[in-house]
Amino acid sequence: MMEDSSLISHEAYGAEIAGVLIPRHRIAVRLDELARRIIEAYPDGELTILAALTGSLVFLSDLIRRLPLRLRLDVVRVSSYPHQATASREPSVLIASSGDLPGRHVLIIDDILDTGRTLGLIRGLVLAAGAASVRTCVLLSKRRDDLPGRMAADFTGFDIDDQFVVGYGLDYGDLYRNLPDVCLLRDLAGRAGR
Ligand code: 5GP
Ligand code: MG
């Protein structure tokens, strides 16, 4: 059967979704490019990916299948948003990595770079564990002109404005991770702001 993704309008995603910011086909094209650049950056062909749960899951699964490397996969879970808040707070580690990091070339993967606290925390842990190298990769990076010294990721899928997005792994109140596109959340009254 022929698939027609244009039949799925954002209206089908629910009243909280304002629209699609980055459609799935643009994500797929960009992931091909990202994967090429990552492969070039690891000429030895050995890589340990440390993925930050839960938001990076969809990005992770699409990306690693484009990486024909000797690849190990580890996860870490860091809390950044308390339930239903949309402004990031001081993160803390909820699930630690398996610990197989000493001497490894580690690529940390997260869904989105906002203040940089989450990636900064994980980066510090990986360095302290004695990794041979540490790089970072995010699907999305928010423009935060108000934070001039914010860290940059080594690999970035898309730079976006400072707005709250869901879908393709990203949630709001634990919902919408399964949307196939990156979508904009409607600015709901009563939503916690920054
Ligand atoms: P940071 O620590 O860089 O401020 O925030 C990074 C984390 O905050 C991400 O891993 C993600 O979980 C969450 N986050 C930041 N911006 C957004 C957003 O626009 N939408 C969603 N769903 N999560 C976000
Ligand atoms: Mg996250």
Residue from 88, 121, 194 to probe ligand 1 pocket by mutation (most atoms less than 8 Å from CB): 88
Residue from 78, 90, 114 to probe ligand 1 pocket by mutation (most atoms less than 8 Å from CB): 114
Q: How far apart are the CA of 10 and the centre of ligand 2, in A?
A: 23
Pairing of the two strands 46-53 and 105-113: parallel
Q: Is 62 in the pocket of ligand 1 (CB under 6 A)?
A: no
Q: What share of the chain is helix, strand, coil (3-state, %, to 5)?
A: 25, 35, 45
Neighbours of 190 (CB within 10 A): 6
Q: How far apart are the CA of 6 and the centre of ligand 1, in A?
A: 28
Report the first-to-last Cα separation within the chain, whole angstroms: 46
Model confidence pLDDT, tens digit, residues 8-63: 677 788 889 999 999 999 999 999 999 999 999 999 999 999 999 999 999 999 99
Give the H/E segment covering residue 62: helix 57-64
Q: How far apart are the CA of 127 and the centre of ligand 2, in A?
A: 20
Q: Is 122 in the pocket of ligand 1 (CB under 6 A)?
A: no
Q: What is the pTM of this model?
A: 0.90
Q: What angle do CA 123, 154, 48 make, to 5 degrees?
A: 55
Model confidence pLDDT, tens digit, residues 91-138: 887 777 778 999 999 999 999 999 999 999 999 999 999 999 999 999
Ligand that comes closest to the CA of residue 166:
1
Report the distance separating Cα 27 and Cα 17, nearest Å. Answer: 19
Give the phi and the psi of residue 46 in degrees, each rounded to 5. -110, 135
pLDDT band at 7, cuts 50/70/90?
low
Show Cβ contacts of residue 67 under 8 Å, excluding neighbours closer than 6 positions.
35, 38, 39, 47
